[in-house]
Amino acid sequence: MASRRRIGILTGGGDCPGLNAVIRAVVLSAASGMGWEVLGIEDGFDGLLHDRIRPLESDDVRGILTQGGTILGTTNRGNPFAWPVERDGRREVIDASRTVLKRLETLRLDALLVIGGDGTLHIADALCRMGAPIVGIPKTIDNDISATDVTFGFDTARLTATEAIDKLHTTAESHHRIMVVETMGRNAGWIALESGIAGGANSVLIPEVPFRIEVVAQAIEERAARGRRFSIVVVSEGAVQVGGAQVVQEEGGPGRLPRLGGIGQQVAAALGDVTGRETRCTVLGHLQRGGSPTPFDRLLATRFGVRAVECVMENRQGQMVALRGPSVVAVPISEAIAEPKRVAPDGELARTARELGISLGDEV
C-alpha cells in the first residue's frame, strides 16, 4: 500500500454541476482506496484562512454523485491575494497569501486539490509559485479553459439552455413573437452558440462576434418574408454591440470580476423598436448552474477526481488535470491558464451556425 498521505480539497469560484462528483471520486480513491486522510475545506480559501475544515470519509460522500452544487460550499469572492478585512472599523484589502502557505504547512498537507475555474486557477498558480503543493481540477459552466477539451458543468448548462430554447419555441410560434434568451458564459460564447445550434435558434449573439441590431432585425424580417413569423434569438451575457461595451449588473472590485447581465433585455427592446414585433426576454441565469449533472459531467468529474489523486501519488504538484481527446492528462497550471478558450469567429462551430442560416449579428 502507498504511504499514508494527507490531502486537502476545496471548491472555489462559482459552483457548477459535477463538483460533488469530483469530491466523491477523490474521497473514494484517496481515503477508501489508498488509506490517505482527506480534509474538506469549506467555502474555498475562506475555510483555509478561517479554519473551517473537516475530515472526509466515504460515508460523507454517499449519495452526492447526482447532486448539483458542492457539499464544501464555495465563493467567488475569496481571493487570498485581495482579502477583505475589517481593521479599526474600516474595510481594507490585504494580501493573505503567506497566511495560506502557513496554514498548508500547519495542516501538514502533501497536496491541496483546488477545484476551480479561470479565476481560482490563477490564484492556485500564484500560490504554486510561492511553493504551495497544489493540484488543479478545472470546472466551469463557461467552458473557457483552453488546456482541456471541455470542463465538467458545461454539458449540464448546455442541456438546460437547450431545453429552455425548445420550450420557448412553441410559445414563440403560437404568438408570432421574437423570443430573446440570455445565457451565462461570461466572456465566452460556448453555452449560447452550442445550445443555439442544438435548439435551432435563428440568431446567436456571442462576446467573440460583436453584433449590430439592424443585422439581427434584418435576419428576422427575411425569415418573416419566408412565412416564419417567430424568431428565437440567443444572447450570451457577454455579447457586445459593435463599438459598445458589455452590460454590467454590478461593477467588479479587488479580487472580484464585474457581474454581467442585462444585454438580453436591451436586445429585446431594440428588436421590438426596429421591427415593431412583439418581443419577450427570458434570462436563464443561475438555472444553468443548478440541477443534477448529466452523465457526461458525472463521468468527466469522476475521471478528473481520480486522476488528481494519481497526480498527488506521482508528485505532480503544480499541474492541472485536463481532458485531451480520449485521455485525462496532467498539464502545468501556468500553461493551462495562459490563454482563455474562446469561440473562434471563423472556426468550425461558428461556420456551422452561419451555414445553417443562423445570424451571428455581424452579417446577413
Residue numbers annotated as active site: 142
Q: Does 259 bind ligand F6P (CB under 6 A)?
A: yes
- Give the DSSP letter string of 300-319: HHHHHHHHHHHHHHTT-TTE
C-alpha cell at position 38: 482527506
Backbone angles phi, psi at 44, to 5 degrees: 65, -140
Q: Does 112 bind ligand F6P (CB under 6 A)?
A: no
Site mask for ligand F6P (CB under 6 A), range 215-244, x = bound: ----------------------x-------
C-alpha cell at position 294: 448529466
Q: Does 123 bind ligand F6P (CB under 6 A)?
A: no
- Judged by beta carbon, residue 109 or residue 184, the one nearer ligand F6P is 184
Nearest approach, Cβ of 310 to ligand F6P (angstroms)?
27
C-alpha cell at position 355: 451555414
Neighbours of 338 (CB within 10 A): 11
Q: Does 12 bind ligand F6P (CB under 6 A)?
A: no
Binding residue for ligand F6P, selected from 43, 142, 155, 194, defined by CB under 6 A: 142
Binding residue for ligand F6P, selected from 25, 114, 161, 260, defined by CB under 6 A: 260
Q: Does 148 bind ligand F6P (CB under 6 A)?
A: no
Nearest approach, Cβ of 153 to ligand F6P (angstroms)?
8
Q: Does 298 bind ligand F6P (CB under 6 A)?
A: no
C-alpha cell at position 192: 449560447
Contact 44, 12 (CB under 8 A): yes
- Give the DSSP letter string of 99-168: HHHHHHHHTT-SEEEEEE-HHHHHHHHHHHHTT--EEEEEB-TT--BTTSS--BTHHHHHHHHHHHHHHH
Q: Does 17 bind ligand F6P (CB under 6 A)?
A: no
- Judged by beta carbon, residue 42 or residue 144, the one nearer ligand F6P is 144
What is the contact surface with ligand F6P in residues (CB under 6 A)?
14, 76, 117, 140-142, 184-186, 237, 259-260, 289
